[in-house]
Structure 1
Amino acid sequence: MTVSIDCVCLLRNLISLRTTMTAQNFLTATQVQGMALIEDSVNAKNQVQKEELAIAIATQNHLEEEYDKAEDEVYTWVQVAFLAQKEGRDDLLLEALRLKQIHQKKASSLKVQLDEIRCKINSFRLEFA
């Protein structure tokens, strides 16, 4: 059986075309898988950022409560100090001033932490915008 040269060339071209199409289909499938992996990675990163934001907001709420308590304590001990001075109780006056100073330092420390967490929350919110 004799096969013409044209048929052989045609067969070679078909085989070459089929190989090229298979390679293109594989590349497309690989690209789709890569895109899916990238999307999964982005979704995971977004989930982590949302969790970090939630933790930061909870921390801010806790720090605000603690700061308010410390400020209330400062005010209370200032009032006690005034009353002690009015009554001429130097021993109570000194103790009230000492406790006021302790709570004032605590309030100052909490204020610094609050400022830091607020900056962090603002940064997260800018990333999500």
Structure 2
Amino acid sequence: MKFTQRLAYYLFGLLIGGMFLVFFFGEKKTRFCYFPNCRVLKDLRNKPLLYSNVAEQKLAEDWIDIEDIRNCLTNGKIDFSESKKEVEKGKLYVIKGKTIKDEPITVEMINYEERVLLYDVKKD
């Protein structure tokens, strides 16, 4: 069998295998999440969210709302140099992100075993 025929068979099999993967795995909402930033944000998103008194006061103001916090938990970047400090039997994470209006904010959250506490929100 000539090289061009083998290449054609290989590419045909690759095409069918690619269509098979798209058909079976295209419906699932899977994401690649192996980097530290992605893993921590996914862990914070999956736990119930509680609010501290300071965070409730900030959310009562007009410049921030819960959608901005969710946006930070999806697209934000964790500052690991300021994070992972032990606070109240949990770990403090500092997340740098943006509001829906594209204003930079810093979100501080304490990660416990069963829940996440929104500790503070600051404008940058």
Higher relative contact order (CA 8 A, sep 6+): 1
More strand by share: 2
More helix by share: 1
Q: Which has the larger radius of gyration?
A: 1
Shared fold, TM over 0.5: no
TM-score normalised according to structure 2 size: 0.26
